[in-house]
Chains A and B, each alone.
Chain A
Amino acid sequence: MHPERRDFLKLLAGGTIVTVFGFAERVQADIAGLPGYPNQFGVLVDTTVCVGCRRCEWACKQWNKLPNRKNLDEYEKDQTVFRTMRRTLADTYTVVNRFENPRDPSRPIYVKKQCMHCYEPGCASSCFVKAFTKRPVGAVTYDASLCVGCRYCMAACPFDIPAYQYDEPFTPEVTKCTFCFDRISKEGGVPACVGICPVETMTFGRRADLIDLAHKKIRDNPGRYVNHVYGENEVGGTSWMYLSSVPFNRIGFRTDLGTAPIPTLGKPFLSLVAPVFITIPALAMGFYSFKKRRDKLAEEEIRKALEKKEGK
């Protein structure tokens, strides 16, 4: 073997071991490390209760000190916003939308929208600098000090929640509901929106208890709800869950999301990294040695033929 080729092989082997195994281990550790925290909090939203006062929108803006704040009475009075379907924006972490009620047209259905705080968040698995973290209390938080601004999280969110400060030229951030992480981390704290709701549309508590509560409500009130707790299983489960009197696709929810957590969709591909780095160099070196051998044999044949000619 040529010394240079041996050196090259050494280099290759060393490099492969470091990059592949280091990389693969970390990938696995991280995916396994997206835990379903057993004691995480959640919120159960009962859309049959909400009256559309929009106080939650106001409280959210106040607590998070978001731009374009208005007085509380302006929120309560302004019904024109319900004419269009709204989504979360850079300055708005939560919105309430109005839907027609097919069972009773005089009583429209109001649905609050905000980050669902997935068990295994698509945004966290999409982020290449790990700016998103699923906290043990249930909140999915965002660290702007790491964000590069690729906006993959926005594309990867099945609920279209993260928004972007497009008008910020130098330090734009992704924005989304924080589950009032600071408030709920303290004993007895509830999110600002839950705290202000005058009709107790939202119930804050341990997610496991809320699932029991949701099914109990469905059982105890026959005919009031459809038998589905939205968020119990959607994309692997979310911390925020909803009850509804009409099928969820009638009130702006996507019912085609399935129950597979978004991170699991990319996982099989990531598991290919190590095999490629192990098998391809081996195959390539194989090809290369065949080629070398073929060239050598051809050269020898030519040499022999020439010798024969000269010998004659």
Chain B
Amino acid sequence: MDASAATAEFKPTWVQDKLFLGMTFKDYFRSNLTPFNAVVTMILAVGIPVILYRLLYGLGPSTNLSNNNPWGIWIGFDMLCGVALAAGGFVIGTAVHLMGMKEYGFLFRPAVLTGFLGYLFAIIALTFDLGRYYRIPYPMVVSWGVNSVLFLVAWHVALYLSCQFVEWCPAIWEWLNLTKLRKIFIKTTLAATIFGVCLSMLHQSALGSIFLLMPEKLHPLWYSEYIPLFFFMSAIIGGLAMTIIESMASHRIFAHQIKNHDPGHLDRVTLGLGKATSVALFAYFFMKVVGLAHGHTWAYLDTGYGYWYLVEVIGFVLVPAFALMYAVQNRLVRMVRVWAIVVALGIVLNRVNHSIIAFNWHLPWADRYVPHWMEVVLTVTVVTIGVLTFRWIMNRMPILYDHPDFEPERH
């Protein structure tokens, strides 16, 4: 190599190019001294010791779980909400690859990445909840409890994680300049998408079906034979809402990555997603009403739990449905984005209601579950590591933009 050229022009090594964003380690380190990273460091400084504490001392000292309340926020929030809100990958994949909605194509990679990381970190959080976390492959390799809905969830979540990995792989191979591998993986996208649709339908609804075995513990307003359908429909809603939120955030934070950045295009697509969310919310609301009629649980509406149920179903389903409809008709993109956040919170509320608030409702208050501070800290830590991973990948791989050296994927 010409020595004078090397000194005149900084030529990054492979490591510097791929890992340090083309900077020397020193520059890279300096570029990371930001207020955001300071907050992250503080969270990790508390969170990592909490994780170690849970792993070394067990669930007893680190959680408020009890014999009556075997599941807490690690299941109710991390797992149930994480998986529901990660449904964007499957929703956008269906729209783009099966229904041929090309204008949404640019959302596919970010949605798949969000979905993949959502599932991955839901599983990581679940690992901390398992008493013998080191046995997590047991339902796959040691003993098949095929009677169990949870068996279905375990298999399908694992398979779906692989599906999403396959869908995301082309971006990795482009990052590493592996043309042949990329070609192979792009061919499998369609198969992975179809397989992923089946898996998603089943495990999203199966997460609700877990509660089918507990009619005597879950409040009648939430217990319904329709739980599988409710969970599936609300997962679609969660996936759509999260896609709106995620695309808003990443097109703001990583806008510099996109050549010829056209915010108008994202706005049009956001309106489309808002419309879909609104329609899905209306459908979900009417299904919920049918559920009330089917279970004949009207009388419970005029109780404390009933008012809470109405907050969820009216405040976080019906009102957002109308609001989004209004916003889409008047082309108020900002309003769509704000209400998407409300919708996502509604999905969280729904899952937490099923697993914690309306669960064991017959028990006296003293026996009810309130999370331990370490449970909250561990949850925040896992989410933070998830966000960090997302950012790390977004900064390196062609997720938002087409890699200049490769032909764009055909949708």
> Which of A's residues lie within 8 Å of B, judged by CB?
4, 8, 11-12, 15, 23, 26-27, 30-31, 34, 87-90, 122, 124-131, 146-152, 154-156, 158, 160, 162-173, 254, 256-258, 262-263, 265-266, 268-270, 272-273, 276-277, 280-281, 284-285, 287-288, 291, 294-295
Complex contacts, B133 vs chain A, CB 8 Å = 149
* A-B pairs, 9 with minimum CB distance: A149-B131, A169-B58, A291-B100, A166-B60, A151-B70, A128-B151, A167-B60, A154-B70, A130-B145
Q: How far is the CA of A128 from the CA of B42 in the complex (A)?
A: 38
B49 at the interface (CB under 8 A from A): no
Assembled-state Cα–Cα distance A225/B121 (Å): 55
User: Contacts of B63 on A, CB cut-off 8 Å?
Assistant: 166
Contact flag A291-B145 (CB < 8 Å), given A149-B130, A150-B130, A151-B71: no
| Chain A residue contacts of B149, Cβ below 8 A | 126, 266, 269-270
Between A and B, 19 residue pairs with Cβ closer than 8 Å are A127-B150, A128-B153, A128-B154, A129-B143, A130-B143, A146-B138, A146-B143, A149-B131, A152-B148, A168-B58, A168-B60, A170-B132, A265-B212, A269-B209, A270-B149, A273-B152, A277-B198, A284-B94, A295-B100
Selected from A152, A167, A257, A285, the residue in CB contact (under 8 A) with B216 is: A257
Is the CB–CB distance between B139 and A155 below 8 Å? no
Bound complex: CA of A162 vs CA of B70, how far in Å? 10
A7: shortest Cβ distance to chain B, in Å?
Answer: 9
Chain B: CB-nearest residue to A286: B98
Chain B's interface size range is 35 or more
Whether B194 and A280, one on each chain, are in contact in the complex, defined by CB atoms closer than 8 angstroms, is yes
CA distance A272 to B210 in the complex (A): 14
User: Is B98 a contact of A284 with CB atoms below 8 Å?
Assistant: yes
B221 at the interface (CB under 8 A from A): no
Interface residue ranges, B against A (CB under 8 Å)? 55-61, 63, 65-68, 70-71, 94, 97-100, 129-133, 135-136, 138-139, 142-154, 187, 190-191, 193-195, 197-198, 201-202, 205-206, 209-210, 212-217, 225, 228
Chain B residue contacts of A30, Cβ below 8 A: 146-147
Chain B, Cβ-Cβ closest to A262:
B213
Given A265-B215, A277-B198, A288-B98, A129–B145 Cβ distance below 8 Å?
Answer: yes
A128-B139, A128-B154, A172-B131 given as contacts; is B146 within 8 A of A11 (CB)? no
Taking CB as reference atom, which chain B residue is nearest A169?
B58
CB distance from A286 to the nearest CB of B (A): 9
By CB atoms of chain A within 10 A, which of B135, B142, B195, B213 has the most? B213
| Contact status of A281 and B198, CB under 8 A, knowing A148-B135, A291-B100 | yes
